[in-house]
Amino acid sequence: MMVPLMALAAAASAPNCADGLCNIRGLEPFFEKLESQPRNQPGKKPVHILQIGDSHTAGDTITGSWREILQARYGGGGRGVLAAGRPYQGYLTRGVTAEMSSGWKIASTFGSASTPPRPMMGVSGFSLTSQAPGARIALTADAGQMFDRFILCAAAEPDAGALTIRIGARTDRMQLDSATRRAECRTFELTQPAFTVEVIAEDRPVTITSWATFRDNGGIALSNVGVVGSQLQHFARSDDAVVSEELRAYKPDLIIIEFGTNEGFSPIFRPNEYEITLRSQIGRIRRLAPGVPIMLFGAPDASSRRAEMLRNAPGPMPQPCAEPGPAPVVTASSSLPPGQTRIGTGRLDNLLADIAEPETVDEDDAAPPPPPPPPVSTGPVWSVRANPLFPPAGLRAVRDVQRRVAAQLGIAFWDWEARMGGACSAVKWVKADPPLMRGDYVHFNSAGGRDVAQRLNADLERARTMMSATR
């Protein structure tokens, strides 16, 4: 018993986050629910993880893979919360297919659709406002994401219209005309699992803030709601009344905050201002969802060639990253250029024998000289090149604030950069075979998303096991 207790204390106090995860005591309520959660029990609500963030969350590359891991082990609890309709081109909805007709005006907390005045907005970061009668949005679930509970959240306000909701063969109506402006989430419980839902605007304009599908059969649901390019300060533009009502309806058991990459790539990153935003938004979530554990993701490693990113935050300039170049051919007389380092299992040492000075013999008795050794391919050479890649200074500064605030507020912190391999690991992930990140050195591809999800899940499983051993 002593070893797990010591390991727990080390994990909770280590500034660099042993095994990638710090402050695991904050996750105890979530772990307890997870351990007692049944599988295939009709009527039992799923354990619900709600992740808010930027493009790493919105793209569902990582969360989608993690959802598959969790649901394979604990059982499927539905697709969870989504931004309604298709709020932007390229919107991905893994596990379900979303449709949206013309006749909707899109608003968001960030980007071209964020210009004030903004309608009410909640956790998804988007709102849809109907502009014509008959405007329609629909959702079709894949076989593994059938649902028997549908939740629709909208703005009730003076002169608002109504929505027709069709779920399979069932038809309901949601009237949103109200004497006061408020958020309203309506839950529709089904006697049989369904694949499809359709929402149609009737006469006057209506604003929809989010929707969700769940399967009340035990298991787990993982919701990903994010806005591409956004920062935590943009989430602050959502309305307290809407977020509060949505959290009441969606009942998350764990809230994950995943921001930081865009802050780290800001032209100027001011740590003090960011710390105020981070503390205030954590406090806001705690106020609107009392008792729900929070986990903060540290910003992952990423790289840039833009010189202004070297000094976009106070502190030392980041070191440049080595990159692989063409595989050179090494002969007996050749050597690696200065500053280049070979990677791989082989070494040049002992590959080529020294050519000894021949003994003096009569010219007539001399044997013909041996042929030169064949060229030796040494594999890729990694070196710092002209216009090098480097992690922006702002990313380090973001993580410093995140790590300190998480420790002081007692919330779980996952050191994503450390679990990737540290600074400059993004270059290795891009150059891996097969690649794990896209060529922008920021975003993960499908293979990389699976890798990140597996590392995250493994860290949480270790923490859960450790917590169980100390009870």
CATH code at 426? Answer: 3.40.50.1110
Question: Would residue 376 count as lying in a domain?
Answer: no
**Given pLDDT bands bounded at 50, 70 and 90, which one contains residue 380?**
confident
The H or E element spanning position 187 is strand 182-194
**Given pLDDT bands bounded at 50, 70 and 90, which one contains residue 375?**
low
pLDDT at 344 > cutoff 60: no
Residues above pLDDT 90, as percent of the chain:
81
* Angle (CA) 180 184 189, round 5°: 150
The two structure tokens encoding residue 383: 């070196």
* Beta strands, E only, 204-246: 207-214, 220-226
Q: Which of 338, 265, 263 is nearest to 305 (CA)?
A: 265
CA 196 and chain centroid, separation: 27
Whole-angstrom distance, CA of residue 55 vs CA of residue 469: 36
**Tens-place pLDDT, residues 412-462:** 999 999 999 999 999 999 999 999 999 999 999 999 999 999 999 999 999
CB 246 within 8 A of CB 209: yes
Pair 210, 288 in one domain: no
**Tens-place pLDDT, residues 261-276:** 999 999 999 999 999 9
pLDDT at 331 > cutoff 50: no
Query: Which range (120-134, 159-173, 291-305, 368-382) has the least confidence?
Result: 368-382
CB 183 within 8 A of CB 241: yes
Question: Would residue 371 count as lying in a domain?
Answer: no
Whole-angstrom distance, CA of residue 124 vs CA of residue 82: 7
Q: What is the pTM of this model?
A: 0.87
Pairing of the two strands 162-167 and 196-201: antiparallel
Q: Which residue has the tokens 């480097």?
A: 390
Question: Would residue 156 count as lying in a domain?
Answer: yes
Whole-angstrom distance, CA of residue 188 vs CA of residue 167: 9
The two structure tokens encoding residue 88: 């932007």
Pair 44, 170 in one domain: no
Q: How many CA atoms lie within 13 A of 315 on its CB side?
A: 19
Mean pLDDT of the chain: 88
Residues above pLDDT 70, as percent of the chain:
85
pLDDT at 356 > cutoff 60: no
Q: Residue 145 sits in a domain of what CATH number?
A: 2.60.120.1360
What is the extent of the structural domain holding 449?
A: 1-77+218-315+394-471
Neighbour count for residue 307 (Cβ, 10 Å): 9
Pair 131, 190 in one domain: yes
Whole-angstrom distance, CA of residue 443 vs CA of residue 430: 10
The two structure tokens encoding residue 452: 């990140």
Q: Which of 56, 142, 153 is nearest to 97 (CA)?
A: 142
**Given pLDDT bands bounded at 50, 70 and 90, which one contains residue 368?**
low
Pair 33, 101 in one domain: no
Pairing of the two strands 126-130 and 182-194: unpaired
Number of structural domains found in the chain = 2
Q: Which of 200, 215, 230 finishes a domain? A: 215
Pair 58, 3 in one domain: yes
The two structure tokens encoding residue 89: 């081109």
Question: Would residue 352 count as lying in a domain?
Answer: no
CA dihedral 443, 224, 254, 15 (to 10 degrees): 10
Q: Which of 215, 241, 260 finishes a domain? A: 215
Pair 267, 230 in one domain: yes
Q: Which of 215, 249, 283 finishes a domain? A: 215
CB 159 within 8 A of CB 165: no
**Tens-place pLDDT, residues 67-96:** 999 999 999 999 999 999 999 999 999 999
pLDDT at 14 > cutoff 90: no
